[in-house]
Amino acid sequence: MNILDVHTLTVIAAVVAYTVLLIAAFIRRSQQEKQTRWLLAFLFTTIIWEFLRFFTLQFSIDFFPDIPTKVLLVGTMLLGVTTAVYANWPRLHFWLLLSSAAILTALAIDFFLPAEALTIPIDNESTLTIYYTSFVSYLSWFVLSSYLLARTWREYRNTRFPWHANRLLFWVIALLSVVVGEALIFFNWSGLTIAGQITRFLGAVGLTYAVSSYRIFDVRTRAQRVLATTIITTISALPVVSAVLLVLWLPDDIPRIPEFLTTVFIAVIITLGIFFYQPFRNLVERFVYRYLIGEDVNTSQVVRSYSQAISRTLDMQQLSLVIVGTLSELLETTRGALILFTKMEDHYEIEPIPAMGRIPRKKIYLSHDSVFIQALQQHQPLLQYELDFNPDHAGLSEEEQEWLQELAMEVYVPISTSSGMNGLIAIGPKNSALPYQPGELELVQILADQTVVALQNARLYSELGSQNEKIRHLNKDLVSQNERLEIMDRVKSDFITIASHELRTPLTQVKGYSDILAAMNEENALTREQTREIVSHINRATLQLESLITAMLDASQLDVDGMQLTFVQTRLDTVLRLAVEPLIQAMRERRISLEINGVEELPSIYGDFKRLVQAFTNLIGNAVKYTPDHGSITVDAMLVPSEEGEEDYVEIVIADTGIGIDPKFHDLIFEKFFRIGDPQLHSTGSTKFRGAGPGLGLPIAKGVIEAHEGHIWVESEREDEERLPGSRFYIILPVQPAGAEATAEAVTTTRPDYLVG
């Protein structure tokens, strides 16, 4: 068989082999549809290329221009696209641009310099003729292939996760095999061409394997093991082999040693060899394993010390540290977390407890049938690689993907009981950048199983902690409620004091003046003028009594059946004008300024005109009472437009520059008969600075506002007569209270007779 025959046969064999490969890839296409499609195109181009080569060889057809090489270039381009899809390159156009430019340049040279060639003399007899067109084609092939290899290699180097990197490493090796094979074929020298064909085909088989199955064996570990076995076998066989060789090489005619002794010597060496081979091999094995692969761990000892360490830990953070610390020592990882799963009715609440590395504490809520949860249900370690490439786990939601990306873990090992998932141990890639071996994963799973009880204990403990915290809060609440009750109790007893004081003062006046009136009348000493004056005193005292009693009745009405209101269309500017009217004189005397903003723009609201005037008089009256001379009071009003599904409402803020209110009394001042300060002080006038009142103004104002379905509250930093922090009373009133049955009653402008300051 001459060389040509061998070449032709190789090409035929290659066509058959590639066709088989193409069929195999086609059958397994469902796994990674897109990349398989491009690989099929590549294999198909390869077959065409081999056919063209067959014609060139068999019939000596010299395609002119060099068509087979152009087809090969198209093949390289397709190989690049397959690689791009496989390695998930973000941008494909650079490759497409580069490869099309290369092919077009080669074609252009064909067109413009078809017959130009370079003749290189090889020796005296033969020369090598290289057409420019072929040269450009080879150069293009070289550039494209090198770029492809370099880029994939760089990607492999930059990939953090070992299994992801392994996949790329495998691809690089297969690519390299294809490229080297092609280079060898180019040489067109018998042995090299055959070797090239085989290498290229093996490369193509590798590519097909990588494309059609996502689970690729661990290239580096396997290479390491092969190397280790080779070294172990070689070294351990060395002594025996060398001894035997030594004996065999002994000169036959050593006179002093009889022949039978030589035989005995050989027998002894072989026996010793057999005897010592195994222990020596074990020794070598241990040595090589220690320095090349790493020592095996003593599983039972690890499990024992791990169980002891976690059983002593009750705090969740501590537990996470212990778990990840042990694993990091064992597997040399620098990243890890305990991830807690709390089962809810239709979802899991998942919370990482970081232990090592920068890990976000971000919680995520996943439904029971989410891809991640389903993947973990198999009760075995789950690799991030599986989540990314196993078609069974396809369809991770964007939220899941983002969360997992932030965690950046290599393996998730479930901690589960029969009732469901309790948590996960998550560990990052190893320092050595080697993938986790099945044995290691198994060990982590055993440790995870050991963690169930410790995790449950830590959970109970933390629940206990939060219950304790709750109880502490409740206790605090209880204490403040107690304080409040005590104050209320005091208020109740103060009420008697206040009421008797408040009532006694005007009563004493009435009695005193009427006594004077009677006595003077007896003596007939009363002038008309005196009578008018005494009667006016009596009148004022009675009015005071009346207003106090009205206020008390109003307040008691609040308790019995709330406030009975008559809703009419009411303008708040009129309300405020009337509310302020009785206070103007006092404000003038005490040089307190009043500013009212924004009321004119307010729409009419439905409300009880008289009651609103009463409420605002009480509030502005208080502002006057608790603001020292020369202070200022501001009333700001505005309409707050409704949000969806809600009514419009108005907000009125009454702010003063007065003494302020201690925050601990912010609620209490709205209670009946509560007033800050000494209950022995009796009413000293409704407008005097700090003039004590009966403690009914705010409860009545609150009753009125709430009967309008509104709210009232106060904001003030503290009470301070020196620095005067001031108080701000907020009043919210709906424009159209739901319960308001508007009557067409006209707005009344008469001054209400039950005002109390």
Binding site for ligand ADP (CB under 6 A): 618, 622-623, 626, 656, 658-659, 661, 669, 675-676, 692-699, 727
User: CB of 505: closest distance to ligand ADP in angstroms?
Assistant: 14
- Residue 691: name the closest of 644, 615, 623, 602 by CA: 623
Q: Which is nearer to ligand ADP, 430 or 675 (CB)?
A: 675
User: CB of 365: closest distance to ligand ADP in angstroms?
Assistant: 47
b (16+ CB within 10 A) / e for 59-84: eeeeeebbbbbbbbbbbbbbbbbbbb
Q: Which is nearer to ligand ADP, 324 or 659 (CB)?
A: 659
CB distance 121 to 213 below 8 Å:
no
Q: Which is nearer to ligand ADP, 29 or 690 (CB)?
A: 690
Report which residue's Cβ sits closest to ligand ADP. Answer: 693
The partner residues of 411 in beta bridges, in order of sequence, read 383, 427
Q: Which helix (H) or strand (E) holds 83?
A: helix 67-87
Q: Which is nearer to ligand ADP, 208 or 622 (CB)?
A: 622
The tokens of 118 are what? 């370079």
The tokens of 752 are what? 């209400």
Torsion-angle region of residue 704: left (phi > 0), alpha (psi -120 to 50) or beta?
Answer: alpha
User: CB of 660: closest distance to ligand ADP in angstroms?
Assistant: 6
User: Strands 593-597, 632-640: parallel, antiparallel or unpaired by DSSP?
Assistant: parallel
User: CB of 531: closest distance to ligand ADP in angstroms?
Assistant: 33
User: CB of 694: closest distance to ligand ADP in angstroms?
Assistant: 5
Q: How far apart are the first and last CA of the chain?
A: 125
Spatial CB neighbours of 428, under 8 Å, sequence gap ≥ 6: 333, 334, 335, 336, 356, 357, 408, 409, 410
Which residues of 657-750 form beta strands (DSSP E)? 711-715, 728-734
Dihedrals phi, psi of 30, to nearest 5 degrees: -60, -25
CB distance 366 to 372 below 8 Å:
yes
CB distance 430 to 411 below 8 Å:
no
Instruction: Give the Å distances, CA to CA, from 693 to 509, 600, 681, 744.
Output: 18, 32, 9, 36
Q: Which is nearer to ligand ADP, 239 or 752 (CB)?
A: 752
Could you give the CA distance from residue 107 to residue 609 in angstroms, rounded to a whole number? Answer: 96
Three-state DSSP class for residue 432: coil
Q: Which is nearer to ligand ADP, 10 or 687 (CB)?
A: 687
Could you give the CA distance from residue 26 to residue 20 in angstroms, rounded to a whole number? Answer: 10
Q: Which is nearer to ligand ADP, 68 or 679 (CB)?
A: 679
How many helices (H) and strands (E) the chain has is answered by: 19, 15
User: CB of 634: closest distance to ligand ADP in angstroms?
Assistant: 12
Could you give the CA distance from residue 643 to residue 682 in angstroms, rounded to a whole number? Answer: 46
User: CB of 559: closest distance to ligand ADP in angstroms?
Assistant: 15
Q: Which is nearer to ligand ADP, 423 or 694 (CB)?
A: 694
User: CB of 628: closest distance to ligand ADP in angstroms?
Assistant: 11
Dihedrals phi, psi of 712, to nearest 5 degrees: -140, 135
Q: Which is nearer to ligand ADP, 382 or 555 (CB)?
A: 555
User: CB of 511: closest distance to ligand ADP in angstroms?
Assistant: 24
Q: For tokens 């060899």, name the residue.
A: 273
User: Strands 605-607, 593-597: parallel, antiparallel or unpaired by DSSP?
Assistant: unpaired
Q: Which is nearer to ligand ADP, 456 or 497 (CB)?
A: 497
User: CB of 555: closest distance to ligand ADP in angstroms?
Assistant: 10
User: CB of 682: closest distance to ligand ADP in angstroms?
Assistant: 11
Three-state DSSP class for residue 551: helix
Q: Which is nearer to ligand ADP, 440 or 656 (CB)?
A: 656
User: CB of 689: closest distance to ligand ADP in angstroms?
Assistant: 11
Q: Which is nearer to ligand ADP, 103 or 659 (CB)?
A: 659
User: CB of 482: closest distance to ligand ADP in angstroms?
Assistant: 21
Q: Which is nearer to ligand ADP, 651 or 715 (CB)?
A: 715
CB distance 236 to 276 below 8 Å:
no
User: CB of 621: closest distance to ligand ADP in angstroms?
Assistant: 8
Spatial CB neighbours of 516, under 8 Å, sequence gap ≥ 6: 534
Q: Which is nearer to ligand ADP, 77 or 555 (CB)?
A: 555
Could you give the CA distance from residue 7 to residue 53 in angstroms, rounded to a whole number? Answer: 10
